[in-house]
């Protein structure tokens, strides 16, 4: 299969995985703009495949919050106003604050090995093109001990929906020092088993990210 793009894929990735990850990177980088139509026949020709894996790839992108698949109309890159982006961040505050508070008292030594590894990985990738993935691995490691897979999946979708705005506007890497300091403060509270304090630190972290992203969107007109 011919692929245009530099998607980094896990071992054993399927054809829909390859197509979805390539399109995802292009959407995040702004190469495919908000509102753009993703036509199955054009994508099938581009990737030299039938429409079936293309359709599966688009459904995966829809599940990640990056694409809207509209019956009888096709698939389109999600386009959001600054107000809608703010609403999504406010939903994240509620869901992520809740799941972290639930996770803290359940964190084990095995969980801490995963959290520390993800934290180190996030710090290493903070100024590079993979910062968003590293940030999500860190937060997912923190939230995992809560044992709430449906809530975690919803959080991942909401994060995916605003991911393009974070990446395209370069809003968070511009505040890398503050962002990593937030991670340190969240971890410190979690280690102290201070679940309410950990939640408060996380909420402040998400709210700062929201203001940075929304400000960039509004400034860009």
Position 177 confidence tier, pLDDT thresholds 50, 70, 90: confident
What is the rounded average pLDDT of the residues 132-149? Answer: 95
Establish if 3 belongs to a structural domain.
no
Measuring CA to CA, how many Å separate 211 from each of 16, 32, 68, 204?
35, 24, 25, 11
Please tell me which residue, 43 or 134, carries the higher pLDDT value: 43
Range of the domain at 132: 82-219
With cut-offs at 50, 70 and 90, classify the pLDDT of residue 7.
very low
* Structure confidence at residue 9 as a pLDDT band (50, 70, 90): very low
Which of these, 26, 28, 17, 79, lies nearest to 54 by C-alpha position? Answer: 17
Structure tokens at 18: 């390859």
**pLDDT above 90: residue 1:** no
Q: Which of 11-15, 33-37, 142-146, 194-198 has the lowest mean pLDDT?
A: 11-15
Q: Specify whether 123 is located in the same domain as 203.
A: yes
Alpha carbon of residue 176 to chain centroid? 17
Global pTM value: 0.79
Percentage with pLDDT > 90 across the chain: 61
| Averaged confidence pLDDT in the chain | 88
Whether residue 73 contacts residue 28, with contact meaning beta carbons closer than 8 Å, is answered with no
Closest residue by Cα to residue 131 from 173, 96, 76: 173
The two three-digit tokens of residue 29, written as one number? 């980088």
Residues 171 and 100 in one domain: yes
> Is residue 36 in some structural domain?
yes
The separation between the first and the last C-alpha atoms of the chain, rounded to the nearest angstrom, is 39
Q: Considering 33, 59, 77, which residue would you say is the last residue of a domain?
A: 77
67 is a domain residue: yes
- Same domain (yes/no): 120, 209: yes
Tens digits of residue pLDDT in 69-102? 999 899 999 888 999 999 999 999 999 999 999 9
Same domain for 215 and 135 = yes
- Do 56 and 162 have their domain in common? no
Q: Which two tokens stand for residue 179?
A: 């962002």
Query: What CATH number corresponds to the domain at position 120?
Result: 1.20.120.530
What CATH number corresponds to the domain at position 61? 1.10.10.10
Instruction: Quote the DSSP letter at residue 75.
Output: E
Per the DSSP assignment, residues forming a β-bridge with 75 are: 38, 69
35 compared with 187, residue with greater pLDDT: 187
**Alpha-carbon span 14 to 159, nearest angstrom:** 24
Measured CA angle at 95 (ends 138, 89), to 5 deg: 80
Question: Based on the domain organization, do 95 and 174 belong to the same domain?
Answer: yes
Residue 33: the pLDDT is 86
Give the DSSP letter of residue 135.
H
User: How many CA atoms are closer than 13 Å to the CA of 29, on its beta-carbon side?
Assistant: 13
> How is residue 121 written in tokens?
């990985």
């Amino acid at each position: 299969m011919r692929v245009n793009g530099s998607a980094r894929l896990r071992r054993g990735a399927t054809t829909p995985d390859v197509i979805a990850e390539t399109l995802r990177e292009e959407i995040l980088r702004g190469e495919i703009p908000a509102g753009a139509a993703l036509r199955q026949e054009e994508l099938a020709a581009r990737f030299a495949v039938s429409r079936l894996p293309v359709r599966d790839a688009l459904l995966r992108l829809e599940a990640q919050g990056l694409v809207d698949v509209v019956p009888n109309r096709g698939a389109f890159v999600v386009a959001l106003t600054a107000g809608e982006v703010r609403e999504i961040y406010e939903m994240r505050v509620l869901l992520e604050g809740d799941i972290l508070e639930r996770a803290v008292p359940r964190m084990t030594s095995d969980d801490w090995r995963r959290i520390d590894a993800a934290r180190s990985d996030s710090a290493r990738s903070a100024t590079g093109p993979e910062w968003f993935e590293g940030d999500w691995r860190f937060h997912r490691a923190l939230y995992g001990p809560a044992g709430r897979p449906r809530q975690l999946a919803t959080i991942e979708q909401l994060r995916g929906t605003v991911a393009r705005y974070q990446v395209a506007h370069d809003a968070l890497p511009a505040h890398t020092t503050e962002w990593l300091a937030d991670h340190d403060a969240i971890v410190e509270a979690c280690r102290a088993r201070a679940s309410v304090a950990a939640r408060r630190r996380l909420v402040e972290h998400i709210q700062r990210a929201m203001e940075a992203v929304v400000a960039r969107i509004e400034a860009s007109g």
